[in-house]
Structure 1
Amino acid sequence: MSIEPFRFIHATNVRLDEPLQRTGPLEEDARQIAEDATLIAFDRIVESCIDRDVDFLLLTGNVFVAEAFTVRARIALERGLALLADADVPVYVTCGDADPLTAWQGRITDPGNLTLLSSTDDDPVAALRDGRVLASLFVVATPGIDESALSLSGPAIFRIPDSTTWQVGLLGAGSGAEVYPGEMQQDSSDGLSRVDELVRIAIEGGANYLAVGEGTARATLKLNGGIAHDPGRPQGMCPNDTGVHGCTLVEVSEDGRARLTQIPTAAVRWESYSIEVDDDTSWDALVEAMQLQLMEAEPQPGEEVWLIDWHLAGAGQTLQALCEEHAQRELVELVEAELESAETPRRQHRFHIETTCSALDLEENRAWAAWQEVLRTESGRFLGSLRREVHDSDWSRSEWGRRIRNSLDDIENQQIVEQGERIGRKWLGHGREMQ
């Protein structure tokens, strides 16, 4: 394939002016940054489009939450669209489950550069530069898509007539398609959903790039002839969203190959670290271990606040002392003393202390043995049953249903076992034997 090189930015799940979840108490400056975090991320997406002179911006759903569409969100969105219009940057939007087509129509002022795509019945849209076609954009799947009505040949739009044009397939947030690195299963009977099957069919049908909008995590899946990519959220929304967040710069070369580069946009970053503590762990050793963890995570441009969860588990006097808040404050001061610099984001630390009992206590505790047996035999059954109940329910396609589905998909059976063991140690490891 010989085409005219071009570049665009792909972002999803901006969720303008939606509050971050479970931040805990924050100092005044940090709290203001957290309150503005999603607005800051969108501003940085717009700035990146202009600074990098992209040919268009692609937003794959949930730009805002229609049910809680604030004045601040609307102003930020319209200001960003206007800035991009002044820079001659078109904006293509695939509607998501949180921002359906009806929420855009009549509520957002279009400065002339906005194109909405919301249905698999929509005709392909040509992305142009100086009147020349750079790419063809079409909808592959939408929120609430009826998977039972899909044929294995896919929507008619997959019959791509022009193989010389770079093809971009769109899967908006809430369509149910998620990208996992590695190889996609080829047999739908092995658990591959029909929407995920569409991803494979679209690539085989001639799509060069599938823009996935779920935004739960950044991931790229390479298939024969093309790639499926989810840039992840531009701003982490909760403690589970650890690490770097941003949008993706897609640079398409003359031979049709795409190079993907993450552009950090988050002002607030979550991190979570676990450290085992025992009777031999000294205060100095713990400080050093925490500092090493922090030094391995490199701050990204624009990150202003880090919210760090420390999970300290084990036994010993050092861990027992950290059950007191004043000891936690002293520990943070020692950790920060060696790490502070002009470029370091301000860090806020939270501690989760889990003390365990001795191995001898547990070995002789019949209640603990019985509890382990319950975890071993029932945890997987419980998780599978819960997933089936949620996926089969009528409300599973709602916004809250989607959040619950995503949370369940992030849970592994081993996590339930480990959490159950922590609870069991706390309640069953000491005291008299339960009869």
Structure 2
Amino acid sequence: MRFIHAADIHLDSPLHGLAAYADAPAEMLRSASREAFTKLVDIAVEEAVDFMVIAGDLYDGTWRDYNTGIFFCREMGRLRRAGIPVYVLFGNHDAESEMTTQLQLPDNVHTFSTRKPQTFRIDNLKVALHGHSFKEKAVTTNLVTAYPAPIEGYFNIGVLHTALEGSSMHATYAPCSIAELHAKQYHYWALGHVHEYAIWQEASTIVFPGNLQGRNIRETGRRGAVIVSVSETEEVSVERLFVDVLRWESVMVDASQAGTLDEVALAVGRALEVLVEEAASSVPHAVRVTITGATHAHGALFGLETQLRAEVLAQIAAISHDRLWLEKVKIATEPLAHSEPASGRVDALADLHGLLIEAESDPEFLEMLKERLLALALQAPAELHKSVPELEHVRNGDLAKLVSEVRSGLIAQLADAE
């Protein structure tokens, strides 16, 4: 017996902030969740799996475009014609969606009750699926305690949308422990909510398949679902299915050997070329580049994020423009030790350096700076925030960090000029 376990599909999840990126592949980003889901259905039909489980967050909150639900019904119709039933548990985002309660789904789609745990039996396979859908977004109680005992002689699957011991990256909905899941004595737990793949195999096989398609730079790497095979002796094997159509990656570039902005751009180009060459598939990549290291170029990069982005875009155009999109270039370099004025030095540069260090801990100066810059930061368009990332420190009230970053870059730049 084989089945597909997917979760956190977030169909047609709205993508915010794209207006800030004139070169963003907006249509590709908007359609990515649909294309990934269609690929998953393709696999289900081609592999003739026995059923599919969706462990929550099929939809994405209060998103009200009914074309999203109609698309889902169309894909379920494909599975219906292939004789594949689908078992859907609603998660926290589904609980907010009007489509969850108003759209009539094809008869091969079975949804778990929001009132109490419900069990579906597939008698010809001797499979029992137990699940409890979210009735409202913020379910903070442990739902596992009310799940029924396993059915004797059946392969028991628990379907649950949970933070599982409070994953720090996700809201702590329906919290429970791994020990509690094992103690339930189900053969398999099909989990959702946490967007990273994870598996535990002891008394039970417990799996987070991760989300189907990465939606932003916080969701890097390959994404998809899992296909689960169960032998006649109830041995469970889990294989990952990668169906994402756009992949987010974070690339760290060490600029310690670079001395100029141009040399940094070339180092980025080499790193991106390696990324494309080593990619397991031809899936396009959305990339955030972070420049790190103590470098002679620290001063040369000061305040030039926009120019560096243009230089990196030129590198991408030469490498593989159809397979790479630059989400952001982030400068996180440090000055070389000798860029800081030497101890005991007496000149204008040393005086400036000392004044800026004092300013970092001067509450009156920081308050004055905040008053003068806050209106600018709040009213600045997205394009300006993109080219002047220091404005985020103003909005957050972290003026000491702003002064520290300006001091570091400015002093390094002046020292280089000297």
Equivalent residue for 1:204, pick from 171, 176, 183:
183
Aligned to 2:193: 214
Equivalent residue for 1:320, pick from 297, 300, 313:
300
1:384-403 alignment, distance < 5 Å: none
Counterpart Cα distance in 1 of 2:342 and 2:128: 65
Equivalent residue for 1:299, pick from 276, 279, 283:
279
The one-letter amino acid paired with 1:228 is I
Counterpart Cα distance in 2 of 1:247 and 1:65: 18
Aligned to 2:214: 236
Counterpart Cα distance in 2 of 1:107 and 1:178: 33
Aligned to 2:164: 177
Aligned to 1:195: 175
The one-letter amino acid paired with 1:12 is A
The one-letter amino acid paired with 1:170 is V
The one-letter amino acid paired with 1:209 is Y
Aligned to 2:150: 160
Higher relative contact order (CA 8 A, sep 6+): 1
Displacement of 1:137 after TM fit? 0.8
My pick for the range that moved more, 227-236 or 269-278, is: 269-278
Task: Name which one, 1 or 2, has greater alpha-carbon Rg.
Answer: 2
Displacement of 1:214 after TM fit? 0.6
Alpha-carbon spacing, 1:326–1:66, altered in 2? closer, same or farther (3 Å): closer
The one-letter amino acid paired with 1:218 is Y
Alpha-carbon spacing, 1:277–1:425, altered in 2? closer, same or farther (3 Å): farther
Q: Tell me whether 1:259 sits opposite 2:250 in the alignment.
A: no
Displacement of 1:125 after TM fit? 1.0
Counterpart Cα distance in 1 of 2:61 and 2:341: 52
| Contact 1:179/1:219, CA 8 A, preserved across alignment | no
1:26-425 alignment, distance < 5 Å: 26-27=22-23, 30-100=25-95, 103=98, 107-119=102-114, 121-128=116-123, 132-139=124-131, 142=134, 144-145=138-139, 147=141, 154-155=145-146, 157=148, 159-162=149-152, 164-172=153-161, 175-177=162-164, 195-197=175-177, 199-222=178-201, 224-278=202-256, 280-281=258-259, 283=262, 287-288=266-267, 290-292=269-271, 294-296=273-275, 298-299=278-279, 301=281, 303=283, 305-313=284-292, 314-317=294-297, 320=300, 323=304, 325-326=306-307, 328-334=309-315, 337=318, 339-340=319-320, 345-348=323-326, 350-359=328-337, 361=340, 423=402, 425=404
> Please, which runs of 5 or more residues in structure 2 have no aligned partner?
344-353, 362-397, 412-418
> Please, which runs of 5 or more residues in structure 1 have no aligned partner?
1-5, 181-191, 373-418
Alpha-carbon spacing, 1:110–1:280, altered in 2? closer, same or farther (3 Å): closer
| Contact 1:267/1:302, CA 8 A, preserved across alignment | no
Identity %: 18
TM normalised by structure 2 equals: 0.71
Displacement of 1:77 after TM fit? 0.8
Displacement of 1:65 after TM fit? 2.7
SS where residue 147 of structure 1 aligns?
A: coil
Displacement of 1:249 after TM fit? 1.3
| Contact 1:244/1:269, CA 8 A, preserved across alignment | yes
SS where residue 125 of structure 2 aligns?
A: strand
Aligned to 1:389: none
Alpha-carbon spacing, 1:273–1:17, altered in 2? closer, same or farther (3 Å): same
Counterpart Cα distance in 2 of 1:241 and 1:133: 36
Displacement of 1:38 after TM fit? 1.4
The one-letter amino acid paired with 1:333 is A
Alpha-carbon spacing, 1:319–1:424, altered in 2? closer, same or farther (3 Å): closer
Counterpart Cα distance in 2 of 1:193 and 1:64: 17
Displacement of 1:139 after TM fit? 2.1
Q: Tell me whether 1:25 sits opposite 2:5 in the alignment.
A: no
Alpha-carbon spacing, 1:141–1:81, altered in 2? closer, same or farther (3 Å): closer
| Contact 2:2/2:227, CA 8 A, preserved across alignment | yes
Alpha-carbon spacing, 1:319–1:267, altered in 2? closer, same or farther (3 Å): farther
Counterpart Cα distance in 1 of 2:50 and 2:40: 14
SS where residue 154 of structure 1 aligns?
A: helix
SS where residue 43 of structure 2 aligns?
A: helix
Counterpart Cα distance in 2 of 1:308 and 1:254: 44
Alpha-carbon spacing, 1:34–1:194, altered in 2? closer, same or farther (3 Å): closer
